[in-house]
């Protein structure tokens, strides 16, 4: 069957996770005609926090200064992707992205050069670089150990204020908990945070929420709730509720399905509307061909397997993620990259993928496997030369990083996408 649509563009970005979407925003800001292929499904699982680097050193406690470790990575010319990006560029990338998200309804906060600690629904304190502004009082209440009321909602299983209180009891004693019915949902046997957040968008629900909370306050100046303060106007809702209650209100990031993740997805969507980026969110690239000196030609399919488009592009940014996202595929013989058959740097055999202990502080070799690039983020081929003059890669598909262990997920994607797009923009001048 013939392809339905023939499209031609300067840049195609494959994959719409954090790296692909951030890359699309940076491309839009630079006026690069772009097609972004892929949906942003995984965002519903993300916390909404933007980590830069949060590796805990056993002797020093939490990682307060991410730049110290990043400077060491740079100085040692370690093969981590951050070794190819100077710190000021990483700061610029974060600044540019959070400005855009802020202009599209999702303001971020954080200390200029340090990580902050934020309380999660597991009662743990997580170091992060940038957090949604609706979580700002989470950081200060934990830092100063302010008397705080944590709210439970009858019927909500994914958040337990008592659990948070118990886990934190040795370091933060003056937390009190209370349970209330969520307005207009008291008949339901089970609540979920996205529905609560949606309901919170109306002033009627906000007023009823404030009326239910007021009698629970016993002089506390801080109230913590799971992330339910709306989808599109969360910070406005937080401020309005603070006005009604006369306290500081903060959100605690919850496990999936995550409202802050949905907000991030919505904010990216708005940011890319009416720009030079065309999104194909319901499609996947199934075939990609590249010949030296010629344009890339990509075939896309819908999720039901119907051929959708043939895309011709001068430049390509590969942001397809790792195993779960199918950017990398593993089988008994090893790890491969399915679209361009790129070189994947990996342990010599599967026996060396994992350390003997699951909790080995050095992590597992398989998590460092991936695509190695040159200084301009172009994947290297088998002779250590760029596989293609105009093929770039960004995000978690890259080799040499272990984003989960080093708590650098968003930072890795934002900084590498920014660097790749800067190179692509330079190549056009
Ligand atoms: C549960 C969870 C929690 C997280 N929490 C945090 C956190 O607290 N802080 C933080 O900083 N980061 C967090 N992250 C990490 C972060 O959000 C990103 O996942 C990470 O930065 C990697 O992004 P990526 O874009 O490289 O890859 P991915 O997020 O894996 O995105 C790759 C995308 O490419 C698509 N794709 C693959 N192949 C194709 C194809 N052929 N055609 C079209 N599309 C394709 C995939 O469907 C996927 O959507 C979390 C991630 C997860 C999954």
Size (the chain), residues: 429
pLDDT of residue 3: 57
Structure tokens at 73: 């990575």
Q: Which regions of the chain are under pLDDT 50?
A: none
pLDDT of residue 2: 56
CA distance 279 to 189: 39
pLDDT of residue 39: 85
CA distance 414 to 185: 39
Sequence-distant (6+) residues with CB within 8 A of 429 are none
| Each residue's pLDDT tens digit, 3-22 | 579 999 999 999 999 999 99
Q: How many CA atoms lie within 13 A of 152 on its CB side?
A: 18
pLDDT of residue 303: 87
Distance 211 CA to ligand 1 centre (A): 39
| Candidate from 44, 46, 128, 302 with most ligand 1 atoms within 8 A of CB, to mutate | 46
pLDDT of residue 77: 66
pTM equals 0.95
Distance 17 CA to ligand 1 centre (A): 4
pLDDT of residue 127: 95
* Shortest-distance atom of ligand 1 to CA 43: 17
Which stretches of 240-373 are assigned E, i.e. beta strand? 248-252, 277-280, 283-289, 296-302, 307-318, 329-331, 334-336
pLDDT of residue 17: 96
In degrees and rounded to multiples of 5, residue 311 shows phi and psi of -115, 130
CATH fold of 121-252, please? Rossmann fold (3.40.50)
| Candidate from 66, 126, 308, 396 with most ligand 1 atoms within 8 A of CB, to mutate | 396
Residue nearest to atom 31 of ligand 1 (CA): 17
**Domain positions in the chain:** 5-105+263-428, 121-252
Structure tokens at 147: 């008397």
Tell me which CATH homologous superfamily contains domain 5-105+263-428.
Answer: FAD/NAD(P)-binding domain (3.50.50.60)
**Does the beta carbon of 300 lie inside 6 Å of ligand 1?**
no
**Does the beta carbon of 127 lie inside 6 Å of ligand 1?**
no
């Amino acid at each position: 069957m013939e392809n339905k649509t023939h499209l031609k563009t300067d840049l195609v970005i494959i994959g719409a996770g954090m790296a692909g979407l951030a890359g699309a925003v940076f491309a839009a800001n630079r006026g690069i005609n772009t097609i972004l292929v892929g949906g942003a499904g995984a965002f519903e699982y993300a916390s909404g926090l933007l980590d830069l680097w949060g590796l805990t050193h056993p002797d020093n406690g939490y990682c307060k200064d991410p730049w110290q470790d990043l400077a060491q990575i740079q100085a040692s010319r370690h093969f981590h992707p951050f070794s190819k990006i100077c710190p000021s560029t990483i700061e610029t990338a974060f600044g540019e992205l959070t400005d855009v998200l802020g202009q599209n309804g999702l303001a971020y906060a954080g200390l200029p050069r340090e990580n902050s600690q934020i309380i999660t629904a597991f009662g743990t304190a997580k170091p992060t670089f940038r957090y949604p502004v609706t979580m700002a009082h989470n950081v200060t209440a934990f830092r100063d150990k302010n008397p705080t009321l944590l709210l439970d909602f009858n019927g909500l299983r994914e958040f337990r204020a008592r659990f948070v209180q118990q886990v934190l009891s040795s370091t933060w004693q003056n937390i009190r908990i209370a349970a209330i019915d969520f307005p207009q949902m008291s008949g339901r046997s089970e609540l979920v945070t996205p529905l609560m957040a949606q309901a919170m968008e109306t002033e009627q629900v906000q007023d009823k929420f404030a009326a239910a909370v007021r009698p629970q306050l016993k002089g506390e100046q801080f109230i913590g709730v799971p992330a339910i303060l709306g989808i599109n106007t969360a910070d406005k809702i937080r401020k309005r509720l603070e006005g009604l209650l006369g306290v500081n209100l903060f959100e605690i990031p919850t496990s999936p399905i995550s409202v802050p993740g949905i907000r991030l997805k919505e904010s990216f969507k708005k940011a890319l509307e009416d720009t030079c980026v065309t999104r194909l969110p319901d499609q996947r690239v199934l075939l990609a061909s590249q010949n030296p000196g010629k344009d890339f030609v990509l075939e896309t399919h819908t999720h039901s397997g119907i051929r959708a488009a043939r895309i011709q592009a001068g430049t390509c940014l590969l942001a397809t993620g790792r195993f779960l996202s199918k950017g990398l595929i593993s089988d008994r013989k090893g790890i491969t990259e399915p679209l361009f058959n790129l070189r994947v740097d990996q342990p010599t055999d599967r026996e060396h993928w994992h350390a003997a202990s699951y909790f080995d502080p050095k992590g597992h070799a398989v998590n460092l496997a991936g695509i190695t690039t040159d200084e301009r983020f172009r994947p290297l081929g088998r002779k250590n030369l760029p596989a293609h003059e105009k093929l770039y890669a960004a995000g978690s598909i890259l080799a040499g990083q272990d984003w989960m262990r080093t708590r650098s997920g968003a930072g890795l994607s934002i900084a590498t996408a920014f660097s790749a797009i800067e190179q692509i923009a330079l190549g056009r001048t």
